[in-house]
Amino acid sequence: MQNNINMDNLTPGLPGLLKILRCPETRQELRLAEPELMERLNRQIAAGALRNRAGRPLEEALEPGLVRADGKFLYPIRRGVPVMLTEEAVPLDAGVSAKPGATGVE
């Protein structure tokens, strides 16, 4: 499964939004998730093993997502729009987020 970050599939203003978007819970900065993380999460979804913060199983593959600065949660992007609801966030293992300081946006 290949999941390269394709900026054409994202909201046109997302690169600018990343400068101002913050986690709704902690106000931490967000960054675009690395393709490797998205591939791993999508494999877990395909296996029926991934749930969001509300405990609901994820059934559809994720588009690129936004990782909170501490790497604990990913906010999904659906149809090019970031879903900034805490209950929709996907819990991540520590240290699996995008590289520190990287946005994934050129």
Residue 78 belongs to a domain? yes
Residue 97 lies inside a defined structural domain of this protein = no
Residue 104 has pLDDT above 80, yes or no: no
In a domain, 1, yes or no: no
**Residue 24 lies inside a defined structural domain of this protein:** yes
Residue 87 lies inside a defined structural domain of this protein = yes
Residue with tokens 């966030």: 89
Q: Look at residue 38 and tell me if it is in a domain.
A: yes
DSSP 10-50: S-TTHHHHTTT-B-TTT--BEEEPPHHHHHHHHHHHHTT--
pLDDT given at position 3: 39
pLDDT band per the 50, 70, 90 thresholds, residue 10: low
What was the pLDDT predicted at 15?
75
Domain that holds residue 13: 7-91
pLDDT digits (tens, 9 = 90+) for 21-75: 999 999 999 999 999 999 999 999 999 999 999 999 999 999 889 999 999 999 9
pLDDT value at residue 49:
95
Report the domain count for the chain: 1
Neighbours of 88 (CB within 10 A): 17
Contact partners, residue 74, CB within 8 Å, separation at least 6: 33, 37, 41, 62, 65, 66, 67, 68, 89, 90, 92, 97
Residue 99 has pLDDT above 50, yes or no: no
Asked if the structure places residue 103 within a domain, the reply is no
pTM of the model: 0.77
Q: pLDDT class for 18, splitting at 50, 70, 90? A: confident
Residue 62 placed within a domain: yes
